[in-house]
Amino acid sequence: MKQKIIVVSGASSGFGRLTAQKLHESGHTVIGTSRNPKTEEAFALLPLDVTSDESVSNFVSEVREQHGRIDVLINNAGRSHNSLLEETTLKDARVIFEVNFWGMVRMNRAVLPLMRKQGNGLVITVSSLAGLVGTPGQGFYGAAKHAIEGYSETLRSELANSPVEVALIEPGFFKTNIKEAMVRNGEPISDYDDVRDIVSQKLDEGFEDGGDPAEVVAAIEKAVANNGKTFRQLVGKDAKTIARLKRWLPESWFLDGTKKQFGL
């Protein structure tokens, strides 16, 4: 496989770190990012805040100066939450969108001109099953991922006559440390007292019983190797099953199934 210059945002933990390690081991030049890089890694790990225009611009300029190009951008940086929609403060909701959606947009806007100029490029964004299906307790995370899905589908169409490809990775529940980084609780509303704890518990159980993150890393590797030939990759048995059920079941049946799954 031809060596590529690959940027992985959110590479200090979770999918991002595992992906950066694997791609580095495969011989690629990997530049990972973290808001506060504190550890030594086999791959380069540089500071980057995807919520800051200045930080993104400075980072891309530094990579361009050092390597001259960016062949693959993997948008992985993200925040999630375990809170009901009405109980999530607007401040927390904006943080979730700022990191997950607008952070991706900032990175793309900074990198796409370089990719078009160099005559090739691939943008891979880690979306989620939550970008296809509404998940109780993660409404704003899901809304941000739904936005990523629509944005990326449009971007792929608009770049059809360019040398840049676009791909999405859509994991279900996997065992990562995302649970520890979740925005939780918010402003309690008494009407939700009988559902708040059960929804939170079901979400935590989903991550605890989730699949091996190596599956997600393998899907990203596949996208890098085939240059985004497959636009969407659902990853995980739960993601594939639930997406299939939503496609084929009557809507009322599917929504009833979601409520049952979360004990509502």
> Is 245 a residue whose pLDDT tops 90?
no
> Is 183 a residue whose pLDDT tops 70?
no
In this predicted model, which residue has the larger pLDDT, 126 or 182?
Answer: 126
Asked about 229 being catalytic, the answer comes back as no
Q: How far apart are CA 185 and CA 188, in angstroms?
A: 7
Asked about 192 being catalytic, the answer comes back as no
Q: How far apart are CA 262 and CA 206, in angstroms?
A: 10
> Is 207 a residue whose pLDDT tops 80?
no
The single residue of 34, 80, 83, 127 carrying the catalytic annotation is 127
pLDDT tens by residue, 13-27: 889 999 999 999 999
In this predicted model, which residue has the larger pLDDT, 256 or 216?
Answer: 216
Give me the mean pLDDT over the 36-62 stretch: 92
Give me the mean pLDDT over the 108-129 stretch: 96
Asked about 141 being catalytic, the answer comes back as yes
pLDDT bracket for residue 222 (50, 70, 90):
very high
In this predicted model, which residue has the larger pLDDT, 98 or 202?
Answer: 98
**Which amino acid would we find at residue 146?**
H
CATH number at residue 22: 3.40.50.720
pLDDT of residue 74: 98
Give me the mean pLDDT over the 55-63 stretch: 96
pLDDT bracket for residue 260 (50, 70, 90):
confident
> Is 38 a residue whose pLDDT tops 90?
no
> Is 264 a residue whose pLDDT tops 60?
yes
The single residue of 4, 9, 12, 83 carrying the catalytic annotation is 12
The single residue of 80, 83, 128, 145 carrying the catalytic annotation is 145
Strands 121-126 and 164-171: parallel
> Is 163 a residue whose pLDDT tops 70?
yes
Range of the domain at 131: 5-261
The single residue of 4, 80, 83, 141 carrying the catalytic annotation is 141
pLDDT of residue 238: 86
Asked about 190 being catalytic, the answer comes back as no
In this predicted model, which residue has the larger pLDDT, 180 or 206?
Answer: 206
Q: How far apart are CA 169 and CA 221, in angstroms?
A: 11
Q: For the chain, what is the domain count?
A: 1
Q: How far apart are CA 251 and CA 181, in angstroms?
A: 32
> Is 73 a residue whose pLDDT tops 90?
yes
